[in-house]
Chains A and B, each alone.
Chain A
Amino acid sequence: MSTTANGFPATRRLLLQGAGLVALFGLGQMPFGAAPAHAAANDKYPEDAFKQKSDADAIHALYGKGAEASDKVKLDAPEIAENGAVVPVSVATTLDNVTSIAFLVSENPNALAASYRIPPGTMPSVANRLKMQKTSNVIAIVEAGGKLYSATKEVKVTVGGCGG
């Protein structure tokens, strides 16, 4: 009889421990997933996202979710970049409540190139210059109202800007 007497609390304790672990894991894995609106307000440098190799992994490390393509994200990049060391890339969007903008170069050793935090009152439009190792897709991610939107364009590179 002692098994039932002890067994029940033991199971409950296990369940509680399990719940605790899930909670810890959940928080550790997706710090932004729980509060997407705060992703851009996060003051931390996204160290982990910059270390990811693939574009999909970098987007997930940065935002904790995937992006959907949108024609409201206007990505401007050259068709052909003669010099991969300096590729002018800019993005603008008609989306409201933009909180952050990020640029990724799929074929670079680390896909994430730059991420910008856009507080209220700042226009959702950024121009910068990126390095590209070789011909690759350039992806712009716009975070608006807690959702991710993207635009992709292939840029042909004749002389790479990453390798030596």
Chain B
Amino acid sequence: MASTIRVRATSNGDITEVQALIQHPMDSGFVKDAQGAVIPAHFIRELTFEHDGKAVFTADWGPAVSKDPYIKFSFKGGKKGDDLKIGWVDNKGATDATVAKIL
């Protein structure tokens, strides 16, 4: 299965800018389907980015983060060609992870 995580990490030599787009329904638990039944909450709880063995960014999310979440941040110390590890876990225990190269 294709990864749910799309990442673009670019370094300008000093700062690495990271943009990520994740495929996830992010159901809030407040929405009803066409039959009037509540769609149970289903959302990513934690999203982590690791560089060189240490977390550079951790997101704790609730169900109010939009469907197919987008995130942008930047950190110091990444170099072109370095690996950036990204992983998430949702409230049902599902996970996905990927490794991206810093460009």
> Is A bound to B?
yes
- Residues in chain A within 8 A of chain B (CB atoms): 45-46, 50, 85-87, 90, 105, 108-110, 112-119, 121-123, 125-133, 161-164
Number of residues from B at the complex interface, CB < 8 A: 33
Bound Cα distance A115, B39 (Å): 24
Question: Mask for B52-78, Cβ within 8 A of A = 1, else 0?
Answer: 001111111111111101111111110
B65's partner among A109, A114, A117 (CB-CB below 8 A) is A114
Contact B45 A45 (CB under 8 A): yes
| A131 partner residues in chain B, CB cutoff 8 A | 26, 28, 63-66
Contact B66 A130 (CB under 8 A): yes
Distance (whole angstroms) from the CB of A132 to the closest CB of chain B: 8
Known contacts A85-B67, A131-B28, A163-B30; is-contact A113 B72 (Cβ 8 Å):
no
Contact A130 B65 (CB under 8 A): yes
Bound Cα distance A133, B64 (Å): 9
| A127 partner residues in chain B, CB cutoff 8 A | 70-73
- Residues in chain B within 8 A of chain A (CB atoms): 15, 26, 28, 30-33, 39, 45-46, 54-67, 69-77
Bound Cα distance A128, B56 (Å): 17
Distance (whole angstroms) from the CB of A148 to the closest CB of chain B: 16
| A161 partner residues in chain B, CB cutoff 8 A | 66
Contact A114 B64 (CB under 8 A): yes
Bound Cα distance A119, B59 (Å): 12
Contact A163 B15 (CB under 8 A): no
Contact B75 A121 (CB under 8 A): yes
20 contacts between A and B (CB under 8 A): A45-B46, A87-B66, A109-B30, A110-B64, A113-B65, A114-B60, A114-B61, A115-B61, A118-B57, A119-B55, A121-B75, A121-B77, A123-B74, A125-B73, A128-B65, A128-B72, A129-B70, A130-B64, A130-B66, A163-B30
- Of all chain A residues, the one with the shortest Cβ separation from B38 is A164
Contact A90 B57 (CB under 8 A): no
Bound Cα distance A129, B20 (Å): 12
Contact B72 A112 (CB under 8 A): no
Bound Cα distance A22, B58 (Å): 33
Contact A114 B66 (CB under 8 A): no
